[in-house]
Structure 1
Amino acid sequence: MESQQNCIWTLWLGEMLVHIVAQLPMILSHQRPPGRVDVQEVGSRWVSVSWGAPYSGHAPISHYVIQFREEETTLGGGMSSWNNVTVGGNIHKARLGTLRPATSYKLRLLAVNEVGAGPPSESTLALTLQEASLSELLQWRDPGIPSGVPGNSAPSTAPQQVRTVRGHRLEVTLTSLHQFTCYEVTVRAFNQVGSGPASPTQSVTTLEGVPDMAPQDLRCSALSPQSVRVRRVPPPIEHHNGVIEGYNVLYKHISFQGGMGSDVEIKETTNLETNLHGLAKFANYSVRVLAFTTAGEGVRSNPVHCTTEEDVPGPPEQIKALAMTSDSIMVAWTRPLEPNGNIIKYNVYYHSLLRKDEHKETVFGDRELTYEVRRLKEFQQYEFWVTASTIIGEGQSSIKVPQAPVSRVPARIASFSRRVVGGAGQEHYVSMPWRGSS
């Protein structure tokens, strides 16, 4: 049932009757299953997919999770685990990389809103293309041996590796070769008497593949509040499988609270040292690197994590001043939306509107978000504002709010409003502290 209701509580505070009105928002629900994933393009090691926007359940979709796994069962008879790729809620396409050639994959999609992940879509099958870089076709001319000759032989890379072709075939495909490797090949014919002279040596190089090992010794260090430096060394030369054209640095903001964070961003570079700029302040980032050739992207490295440096914080998000007695005011505030570091103290400022004499009080730590200013003059108007500080320094000021001490104080809610989200049937408890004389 989807509805919106007002609930009213009535209570006595001393001699005053207080009415508290709370509006219960529309119940949120999980989404319906998204439509099937559409396969747009297929390579030997990647697949491009797209999808439409599903029903969101009265809450905007925060992100999508594309899941894929090989269709074949594992050696133990079970299915392989799902691999996840996450994109933002306003994105409806993705490219899945680091797949295996000539392999069938199952793909499905989940949409996530504030309530959680909805049911998955129906599975879609995608078959990656084959790679032709591990074989070479050899052709030669018949040397004019009389009919009835048993066959020809074509040795490959080394004398001990020989392929024998029976009959009158004039070509053979050599398989299981190494990628991007030069081979020397000769062909000789033979009959019942023995083998003839070898043909001139022919050099042939297999096609490029993708690097089958990730870059090594990946390191990440902070440069400033909004930049980090990423260093690595190339994969071992025997794992290049081609000419390395460059590197993709994949980085993602990871929330300190364990949330999903941002989408993966990619920076392409040819250098072994890369600076990432425009990052969030005092934010944790996960960084991975891969090398690529003209054949495609190679194996991704294991992630490393680094945190940008601290900076001065932004302003406290909200502030209010409540009259407590004839000579005191309660100042309450909320934490900055952008703390940009560990908050070590709050600074409470106030002055009289008559004299503009500024005063400052300090609240150490980040747990206490109220302060009672005393020794004020009754009925005199004051302005109050708050700043936060990190080890870097003092941040921006909140807005200024006016208030005057009075002896007769009405009941007031001291806390700030906040949104509580939950699914249908879940229980939630909300405390509502207030201030007032008894």
Structure 2
Amino acid sequence: MGPQLKVVERTRTATMLCAASGNPDPEITWFKDFLPVDPSASNGRIKQLRSGGLQIESSEETDQGKYECVASNSAGVRYSSPANLYVRVRRVAPRFSILPVSHEIMPGGNVNITCVAVGSPMPYVKWMQGAEDLTPEDDMPVGRNVLELTDVKDSANYTCVAMSSLGVIEAVAQITVKSLPKAPGTPVVTETTATSITITWDSGNPDPVSYYVIEYKSKSQDGPYQIKEDITTTRYSIGGLSPNSEYEIWVSAVNSIGQGPPSESVVTRTGEQAPASAPRNVQGRMLSSTTMIIQWEEPVEPNGQIRGYRVYYTMEPDQPVSNWQKHNVDDSLLTTVGSLLEDETYTVRVLAFTSVGDGPLSDPIQVKTQQGVPGQPMNFRADAKTETSIVLSWSPPRQEIIVKYELLYKEGDHGREVQKNFEPATSFTLEGLKPNTEYVFRLAARSALGLGAFTPEVRERTLQSSRCLSFSHPSLR
């Protein structure tokens, strides 16, 4: 029996059969393409079986050819019919069995990227960054390549390239190094009230942020920045602001790394409100026996642009202010009021107003319609010094020559009023008082032409006595 046509896949085992009989038993040898086959030269890959067949393990393309077996003995030689052995080679273009995976890492972090490709023939695998080869040409692995990156500072794309005689394929892994978020867009003011400002802004970041931080500050004050944190939207209303005040506002974004740089600032002003405080240091004095001049200072909290003042005056201070006479003043801190009755005492109060409304009235002052008499002392106050003394302090009336001050005081509401005169000063200590007792004080200034109006009442209590009180218990006899 001679060999038959055989087709085998590369790397598989092929067996060519041959059997012969004779007397004596013939010896069988093999020829390939008319050349003798020497199994000993194949490192054991090709063997001749006892049956006479030829076994070829891990067949290669070079094993392909025309085989014939020859039987020979002393009686002669006999050739078989030739038979072809075909070694079929599977040819598969490269493909990725494990694609490289993108990673997000902290600055200075390490990461390994694995890339595996298969095919027939098996492809070589290398790594590239842009046009730069990261795998040495003389050390290019087959099938699998692991790129080890250490101390990564910058984000980059890395390309895995698999290549064989049948083609070249590529896959990209993106390594993103986490960084602080970028500055958001400049805030846009969408609404203002007297005490709030509403802003919107563009995130300015392609990646999600954890939250936003708003910093803001009044441009008229040197205090620290105010901060609003944990804002998860791109719109926010800042409340609790001062009316008619200019504010500068910034926005910054926060992610898992930290807080990024602030945006460009936006400057805006809150709306107006009615004044929150009254005009200060209201003072009155007579220009003539029927004309007085009233002057004052702006409120501490105007809450807007002061459009003017209203001066209220009356000889009947117990009446509602709406029943008092009124004098309007535009853009001035003083005014004159004429056609007054002589030798009367007028009570005066002043308020400021904005475009929104009226502020509170000042504390009342009294003015005597007697030419040349001083106005009321200003800022009159009393402070307990000891258990038997109280210190009185004030500011003198403006533009007057004071010759004396007259003090009236009494113990509580029902005590006898006592008068005390003293030389011009801005403070006076009243001594010889009772401990832990409330006293009521009024003060007036005197010029050469007469006594001015008294201040409103001021109350103060002396200190508690520090002496210990001892109690004796009656003895029983």
Q: TM-score, length-normalised on structure 2? A: 0.47
TM-superposed CA distance for 1:254, in Å, is 0.7
Q: 1:248 is paired with a residue of what secondary structure?
A: strand
The separation in 2 between residues aligned to 1:332 and 1:289, in whole angstroms, is 45
TM-superposed CA distance for 1:309, in Å, is 0.3
The separation in 1 between residues aligned to 2:317 and 2:234, in whole angstroms, is 63
Q: Aligned pair 1:361/2:327, yes or no?
A: yes
What aligned pairs does 1:7-86 form with structure 2 within 5 A after superposition?
none
Q: Aligned pair 1:230/2:203, yes or no?
A: no
Map of 2:80 onto structure 1: none
What aligned pairs does 1:106-255 form with structure 2 within 5 A after superposition?
132-133=106-107, 136-138=110-112, 154-156=127-129, 160-164=131-135, 172-173=148-149, 178-179=154-155, 183=157, 186=160, 203=173, 205-212=175-182, 214-235=183-204, 237=206, 242-255=207-220
The separation in 1 between residues aligned to 2:328 and 2:345, in whole angstroms, is 21
The separation in 2 between residues aligned to 1:274 and 1:354, in whole angstroms, is 49
Does the 8 Å CA contact 2:283/2:294 hold for their aligned counterparts?
yes
Amino acid at match of 2:307: I
Map of 2:48 onto structure 1: none
> Residues 263 and 243 from structure 1, CA distance in 2 versus in 1: closer, same or farther, beyond 3 angstroms?
closer
TM-superposed CA distance for 1:387, in Å, is 0.6
Unaligned runs of 5+ in 2: 1-104, 116-124, 381-396, 402-447, 450-477
Map of 2:260 onto structure 1: 298
Map of 1:398 onto structure 2: 362
Matched residues, percent identical? 21
> Residues 322 and 411 from structure 1, CA distance in 2 versus in 1: closer, same or farther, beyond 3 angstroms?
closer
Find 1:277's aligned residue among 236, 239, 264.
239
Map of 1:320 onto structure 2: 283
Amino acid at match of 1:164: T
The separation in 2 between residues aligned to 1:178 and 1:343, in whole angstroms, is 58
Amino acid at match of 1:154: W
The separation in 2 between residues aligned to 1:354 and 1:270, in whole angstroms, is 57
Does the 8 Å CA contact 2:126/2:160 hold for their aligned counterparts?
no
TM-superposed CA distance for 1:164, in Å, is 3.4
What aligned pairs does 1:357-436 form with structure 2 within 5 A after superposition?
357-365=323-331, 368-410=332-374, 434-435=399-400
TM-superposed CA distance for 1:218, in Å, is 2.3
Q: 1:388 is paired with a residue of what secondary structure?
A: strand
The separation in 1 between residues aligned to 2:305 and 2:236, in whole angstroms, is 27
Map of 2:305 onto structure 1: 342
Map of 1:260 onto structure 2: 222
The separation in 1 between residues aligned to 2:375 and 2:313, in whole angstroms, is 23
The separation in 2 between residues aligned to 1:373 and 1:286, in whole angstroms, is 44
Q: TM-score, length-normalised on structure 1? A: 0.51
The separation in 2 between residues aligned to 1:383 and 1:412, in whole angstroms, is 11
Greater shift after overlay, 399-408 or 298-307? 399-408
Amino acid at match of 2:149: T
Amino acid at match of 2:179: G
The separation in 2 between residues aligned to 1:272 and 1:401, in whole angstroms, is 53
Q: 1:306 is paired with a residue of what secondary structure?
A: strand
Unaligned runs of 5+ in 1: 1-130, 142-151, 417-431
Greater shift after overlay, 353-362 or 368-377? 353-362
Does the 8 Å CA contact 2:283/2:376 hold for their aligned counterparts?
no
Amino acid at match of 1:376: L
Greater shift after overlay, 382-391 or 323-332? 323-332
Does the 8 Å CA contact 1:415/1:434 hold for their aligned counterparts?
no
> Residues 408 and 199 from structure 1, CA distance in 2 versus in 1: closer, same or farther, beyond 3 angstroms?
closer
The C-alpha deviation readout for 1:337-394, integer Å capped at 9, x for no partner, is 01111111111001112784510111101xx212222222223222100011111121
> Residues 313 and 411 from structure 1, CA distance in 2 versus in 1: closer, same or farther, beyond 3 angstroms?
closer
TM-superposed CA distance for 1:162, in Å, is 2.6
Larger relative contact order (Cα-Cα within 8 Å, sequence gap ≥ 6): 1
The separation in 1 between residues aligned to 2:171 and 2:258, in whole angstroms, is 31
Which is strand-richer, 1 or 2?
2
The C-alpha deviation readout for 1:260-285, integer Å capped at 9, x for no partner, is 25534234311111111111111100
Q: 2:263 is paired with a residue of what secondary structure?
A: coil
TM-superposed CA distance for 1:407, in Å, is 3.3
The separation in 1 between residues aligned to 2:355 and 2:146, in whole angstroms, is 78
Amino acid at match of 2:248: S
